[in-house]
Amino acid sequence: MFCTDVETVTAKKKHACTWCAQEISAGEKYLKWKSFEDSWFTNKMHHECKAALQEEISRYGDREYYPYENERPALGEGGAR
């Protein structure tokens, strides 16, 4: 799988986090990158959700995840909300 560099952006409109499916509100900072396996996919995540993804990668060694099907970490678990 190929991934572009992760960038921090400010949402101009609301989005759904590709980790937890919860809203990323307009004006909120989030992380964005693109990945390619069979096709291009844009990842948009809360900071704490990206930290949860990184934790899974370090634990299981796989960079794939099921979009919109994960729990958003609570405060103190990978970042502040």
Q: Is pTM beyond 0.85 here?
A: no
* Residue, of 7 and 64, whose pLDDT is higher: 7
State mean pLDDT over 1-11.
90
Classify 41 as helix, strand or coil: strand
The dihedral region occupied by 79, where left means phi > 0, alpha psi between -120 and 50, and beta the remainder, is left
pLDDT of residue 57: 87
Pairing of strands 29-36, 7-10: antiparallel
Band of residue 76 on the pLDDT scale cut at 50, 70, 90? low
**Span 13-69, pLDDT tens digits:** 999 999 999 999 999 999 999 988 788 989 999 999 999 999 988 888 877 788 999
**What is the C-alpha separation between 77 and 71, in angstroms, rounded?**
11
